[in-house]
A and B are shown apart, each in its own frame.
Chain A
Amino acid sequence: MAHYHEGGLDRRQTLKCMLWAGTGVVWTVAGGVPSSRLIGSAKAAEGGFSFVQMSDCHIGFAKPANPDAHATLNVAIDKVLAMPDRPAFMIHTGDISHTAKANEFDDAQQMIARAKLDVHYSPGEHDILDPKTRDAYLERFGKGATGGGWYSFDQGGVHFVSLNNVVDLKKNGLGSLGAEQLEWLEGDLKGKSNSTPIVVFCHIPLWMIAPEWGWGTEDSAQALGYLSRFGSVTVLNGHIHQLMQKVEGNVTFHTARSTAFPQPAPGTAPAPGPKLVPAGELRKWLGVRKVAYSPTPTNLAVTDSDLS
């Protein structure tokens, strides 16, 4: 937990994140500190805002683990529309499509557009399979982005950074950021005060969850080094299709559920991959996240909601 005084944060500005199994996530950002509530009760404090995290929609996937990924994405969008406090925007942490086909992206964007929110995308390794699909992705989603599709923006006093760690995969499929992106990140953060709340989002987790399954980012330590001076850093990832959380210094890491299919917890299966769950239970394993922020009290709130 962050107890950072120099930059203006105090004990009350502590990052509080609570994850409820079986619920979607709402992020509420307040004074730079995230906390969480159930989707039904998540509410940005006065002057704050909330945003939605959507992840791993895998549009185009139609196999036993989920014969209809379109339908479950639509349920997720319905959940967003039903949120009592309208989110300011949406972030998507990758694997929008399953095989990076134009029609899959078209379908996904059409469905996501129902939420009537600005969407900030990070690519997943299913969105960029090779140089050809990388170029197509950047053409579609990379406007305003730098280099290989990384970018940042500010909203309500919070600095958001979208990274791309799926282009140059390493051993076992670990993500990597690369020297060019790391250099950009260092420069991007340079002008920010230590008290600026930072939210970093990308597809593959920035912390080593299971390197043998490629669930981590090889050169994330350098990126986290650039972030270490900030009083409140929240890292949001997808890729592993399940909720996990870790706090390391002032950095809180969250992984998100998929809207398409669950994956096994590390060590519980021979390999990562779509997990079959009993018929009728699938939607309990899927979800969306809402994050809420408000300047007073200074809290960032995370709420995960399932799709049942």
Chain B
Amino acid sequence: MSVLRFAEPLSREARRETGRPPQPSRERDLLTRPRARTRVEDPHERSADASLRRREKYVAAVMLAGAISAALTGTVWAGGLTGDAARGETLYQVCTDCHSLDKNDVGPRHRGVFGRKAASLPDYDYSDALKSANIVWNEETLDKWLTDPQAVAPGAKMFFHLDNPQDRADVIAYLKERAK
């Protein structure tokens, strides 16, 4: 399986206002700005650079806090959307045609699937396609998988898919937070 490529998450503002793919944010631009400008001679410039670095640290801290907060409050980002684990639990009902949390069914059991390597349960008979896919299940890989499993691992057993990105984000949030 080739390396999967995924869209970057939407910023909160982009999600709220446009629902469109993410635009580079100012914070992101600051974080990725080339470091060449750190070579300074003028004290004012040095001060500006120090300010920039402080800001970089601040932005990084805010992002880390946001990530921790998201983890603690039951939200995740998948396909750029914040998942609602409670709604995901309701949506998960349609998955029960083939899956359970604690018992292998037509598909493998789901408890602990988030963060697990694909095709790694020793007591489930996976397809060769998934065995060779070399995937770890996270927001991005699960979003791709739930969009079209046959595109991720042609020949996999699963054909089920969720067309709505928010539905996928919600189910992923459920798997991450309530199916641990």
Is B38 located at the chain interface by the 8 A CB criterion? no
Is B94 located at the chain interface by the 8 A CB criterion? yes
Report how many residues on chain A are interfacial, defined by Cβ distance under 8 Å: 23
The 8 Å CB contact of A63, one of B96, B157, B160, is B96
A271 touches B106 (CB 8 A): no
Is B45 located at the chain interface by the 8 A CB criterion? no
B163 touches A270 (CB 8 A): yes
The 8 Å CB contact of A98, one of B105, B160, B167, is B105
Interface size on B, as a range, is 20 to 34
Q: When each residue 216-242 of chain A gets 1 if its CB lies under 8 Å from chain B and 0 otherwise, what string results?
A: 000000000000000000000000000
Is B91 located at the chain interface by the 8 A CB criterion? yes
Can you report 23 residue pairs joining A to B where beta carbons are below 8 Å apart?
A63-B96, A63-B100, A64-B93, A98-B106, A99-B106, A126-B106, A129-B106, A130-B157, A169-B159, A171-B150, A172-B159, A173-B159, A173-B160, A212-B163, A270-B167, A271-B160, A271-B162, A272-B94, A273-B94, A273-B96, A273-B97, A273-B160, A274-B96
B96 touches A64 (CB 8 A): yes
**Residues of A contacting B125 with CB < 8 Å?**
130, 132
**Residues of A contacting B160 with CB < 8 Å?**
173, 271-273
Q: When each residue 106-118 of chain A gets 1 if its CB lies under 8 Å from chain B and 0 otherwise, what string results?
A: 0000000000000
Nearest CB to that of A132 among chain B residues? B125
Nearest CB to that of A269 among chain B residues? B94
Nearest CB to that of B171 among chain A residues? A270
- With A98-B105, A99-B106 in contact, is A274–B97 under 8 Å at CB? yes
B41: shortest Cβ distance to chain A, in Å?
A: 61
Chain A positions near chain B (C-beta within 8 angstroms): 63-65, 98-99, 126, 129-130, 132, 169, 171-173, 212, 214, 269-276
Chain B positions near chain A (C-beta within 8 angstroms): 91, 93-97, 100, 105-106, 125, 127, 150, 157, 159-164, 167
In angstroms, Cα B150 to Cα A5, docked, is 48
**Residues of B contacting A65 with CB < 8 Å?**
93, 96
The 8 Å CB contact of B159, one of A99, A214, A269, is A214
In angstroms, Cα B159 to Cα A212, docked, is 10
In angstroms, Cα B100 to Cα A172, docked, is 21
Nearest CB to that of B97 among chain A residues? A273
- With A98-B105, A126-B106 in contact, is A270–B96 under 8 Å at CB? no
